[in-house]
Chain A
Amino acid sequence: DAGVIQSPRHEVTEMGQEVTLRCKPISGHNSLFWYRQTMMRGLELLIYFNNNVPIDDSGMPEDRFSAKMPNASFSTLKIQPSEPRDSAVYFCASSPPGQGARGYTFGSGTRLTVV
């Protein structure tokens, strides 16, 4: 099992550009979470999908952020336009049916720098 796979590992972009982060959850996991980690705010849940459907997007900071899960094996988090304050490490996590937090597996994260 390859675990949760995120790409790219590092992304440096200029302010105003569109950024797309990608996540492949573990096969068989039906819950997917996007988190953002910064020194100031720690770990913040951005959005949660269950069976490919967004269930809780209350953590998405603003309309510049959008997330999709077109199928069980792929999700994207898009920022358009990007701003320097979006610089952070973005983590994707997945969990098997019925296990919730007990079954969380995190990816290695994407470190985003917006200059």
Chain B
Amino acid sequence: GNSVTQMEGPVTLSEEAFLTINCTYTATGYPSLFWYVQYPGEGLQLLLKATKADDKGSNKGFEATYRKETTSFHLEKGSVQVSDSAVYFCALSDSGGYQKVTFGTGTKLQVIP
């Protein structure tokens, strides 16, 4: 079946540091890939997505590139802010059917001033 593996957290960074959160996946066919963000006390929000190989998703300074050869979708940001502190989830959805979503376990990011 499908699966998503994320790096263990928590990740603690100083403000303006470079962020990478690793994500690899296992899936059949050609899944779509997503990053969601969850702020404290809230539901998940879609951060960015990529629907085919070599696509780059981007939003709010975050980027991730769909790498089919390495089955990866790593999240990056050049300069993090305190307001980026949250839990980040990597996810994939099937290409067929009802596009069932499989989530990773989440990586908590804490940015300190």
A11 → chain B closest CB, angstroms: 15
Give the distance in Å from the alpha carbon of A42 to the alpha carbon of B107 in the complex.
11
A interface residue count range (under 10 / 10 to 19 / 20 to 34 / 35 or more)? 10 to 19
User: Would you call B45 an interface residue if the criterion is a C-beta within 8 Å of the partner chain's C-beta atoms?
Assistant: yes
- Cβ-defined partner of B103 (8 Å) among A4, A43, A50: A43
Q: How far is the CB of A100 from chain B (nearest CB, A)?
A: 3
Which residues of B89-108 have CB atoms within 8 Å of chain A's CB atoms?
A: 89, 91, 93, 98-101, 103-106
SS of A interface (majority): strand
A25 close to chain B: CB less than 8 A? no
Q: Nearest chain A CB to B39's CB is how many angstroms away?
A: 10
Residues of chain A whose beta carbon lies under 8 Å from any beta carbon of chain B: 4, 31, 42-43, 45, 48, 50, 55-56, 91, 93, 100-102, 104, 106-109
